[in-house]
Amino acid sequence: MKIALVTDTHFGARGDHQTFDRFFEQFYNKVFFPVIDKLQIEHVVHLGDMFERRKFVNYVTLSSCRRYFFEELHRRGTQLHVIVGNHDIFYKNTLEVNSPDLLLGKYENVRIIQEPITQTFGGITALMIPWMCDKNMDATMELLKNAPADIVFGHLDVTGFEMYRGQVNTGGFNPSLFSRFESVYSGHFHHRSTKGNITYLGNPYEITWADYNDPRGFHILDTDTRQLNFIENPFRMFHKLEYNDKDTNYNTVDVRKYAERHVKVLVINKTDQTMFDAFIDKMYNVNPVEIKIIENSIDYDDQALNDKTVDVEDTMSLLEQYVDSIDLDLDKDKFKTFLKGLYVEAQQLEEEGL
């Protein structure tokens, strides 16, 4: 039996920006559902953070994701098992008020996992763990010790894993808590990674510049062979373009792929101002979401430009560089993680209009 695993869909991300919603729809129409149909998948497990906002929902976003995701699953008769994540809950100490339960009740093919339970898929038994909070902590710990399960599906906060590429979580639960299970599959962190028996699946698509050039997609788990296959999403929201008119005639460059995308133009060599202006005008004419032009006032070198972790416009990179440059009598890595948490929370508050 094959089941699909998808997580951290964050419907309504980036302030319910409609270009992101169309970008998400592109993934489901051209990647997700073609695989579902080809493999005749009957069960999809969503591992948390279905919606972006914890406090409210945008009606246009809800109508849209119902159309291209929930209605498509319902039309196929595909069972959707939704594990409640931390973005899905209104309160932080209980899961009692959560968006999947309130918004998806009309679908008889949708099951909301609000309490830790065990469930069998084919020849495998999974312990399903929603976001761990004060209200469900004791029950979850008891099942982690004694539940007759082979694997874990959850929305977990485990220490030592990258939240985003290069940003390691220093808080959360010790991985040893899950050591008795054959495999643990989790949502929550958007970067795909595996350590020991624990795999963070990553989210399906790019949402911020922190996701740039970091593979996204979803997974198919074969419950008979225990093999996990990654299905990569080929579509990208964020693009970097190195402008060098010593090597390229930009009058002939096709820029249509940048329509409704975020683009950074890193200017390496600009010897023909007229061609540069015409190229930028051509870029704007395809209606990108945003173009950032970065002139070479900073001394870029080839190694820096090829370093996937370098992003001179990324707020967290700038904060990290600042922390590294000052003399602090404390653990700089922990301080960076603290700043990361503040930054993410500030973004969420801004998007929620608070």
DSSP code string of 71-118: HHHHHHT-EEEEE--GGGBSSSS--SSBHHHHHSTT-TTEEEE-S-EE
Q: Which amino acid is at 34?
A: P
Residue 154 bridge partners (DSSP) = 129, 186
pLDDT tens, 203-225? 999 999 999 999 999 999 999 99
- pLDDT category at 245 given cuts 50, 70, 90 is very high
- Region 144-166: mean pLDDT is 96
How far apart are the C-alpha atoms of 316 and 323, rounded to whole Å? 10
- Region 29-37: mean pLDDT is 98
Q: The whole model's pTM is what?
A: 0.84
Helix (H, G, I), strand (E, B) or coil at 127: strand
**Residue 152 confidence (pLDDT):** 98
Token pair, residue 114, equals: 């609000």
- Region 46-57: mean pLDDT is 95
Token pair, residue 223, equals: 């419950």
How far apart are the C-alpha atoms of 313 and 27, rounded to whole Å? 27
pLDDT tens, 156-198? 999 999 998 888 999 999 999 999 999 999 999 999 999 999 9
**For the ranges 63-72, 87-96, 297-306, which has the lowest average pLDDT?**
297-306
Do residues 154 and 184 make contact, with C-beta atoms less than 8 angstroms apart? yes
Residue 120 bridge partners (DSSP) = 125
Neighbours of 124 (CB within 10 A): 19
In the predicted model, is pLDDT for residue 298 greater than 60?
Answer: no
Best CA proximity match to 250, nearest among 270, 228, 233, 230 = 270
How far apart are the C-alpha atoms of 216 and 35, rounded to whole Å? 15
How far apart are the C-alpha atoms of 82 and 100, rounded to whole Å? 8
**Residue 335 confidence (pLDDT):** 77
- pLDDT category at 127 given cuts 50, 70, 90 is very high
CB hemisphere CA count around 181 (13 angstroms)? 29
Do residues 44 and 81 make contact, with C-beta atoms less than 8 angstroms apart? yes
Gyration radius (Cα) of the chain, Å: 22
Do residues 189 and 163 make contact, with C-beta atoms less than 8 angstroms apart? yes
**For the ranges 52-56, 84-88, 292-296, 343-347, which has the lowest average pLDDT?**
343-347
**Residue 287 confidence (pLDDT):** 96
**Residue 321 confidence (pLDDT):** 61
Q: β-pairing, 193-195 with 228-232?
A: unpaired
Q: What is the DSSP string of 18-59?
A: HHHHHHHHHHIIIIIHHHHHHHT--EEEE-S--BS-SS---H
- Region 143-155: mean pLDDT is 97
User: How would you list the strands of the sheet with 238-244, edge to edge?
Assistant: 238-244, 262-269, 290-294
In the predicted model, is pLDDT for residue 100 greater than 60?
Answer: yes
**Residue 349 confidence (pLDDT):** 58
Do residues 198 and 211 make contact, with C-beta atoms less than 8 angstroms apart? no
**Residue 338 confidence (pLDDT):** 76
- Region 277-287: mean pLDDT is 97
- pLDDT category at 317 given cuts 50, 70, 90 is low
**Residue 342 confidence (pLDDT):** 78
- pLDDT category at 3 given cuts 50, 70, 90 is very high
**Residue 310 confidence (pLDDT):** 40
Q: Going along the chain, which residue ranges are E strands?
A: 2-6, 43-46, 79-83, 110-113, 117-121, 124-129, 151-155, 162-164, 167-168, 183-187, 193-195, 198-200, 217-222, 228-232, 238-244, 262-269, 290-294
- pLDDT category at 305 given cuts 50, 70, 90 is very low
Q: Considering the chain, what is the average pLDDT of its residues?
A: 90
- Rounded (to 5) percent helix, strand, coil in the chain: 35, 25, 40
Residue 292 bridge partners (DSSP) = 264
What percent of the chain shows pLDDT beyond 90?
A: 81
**For the ranges 182-186, 227-231, 302-306, which has the lowest average pLDDT?**
302-306
Token pair, residue 217, equals: 């997609």
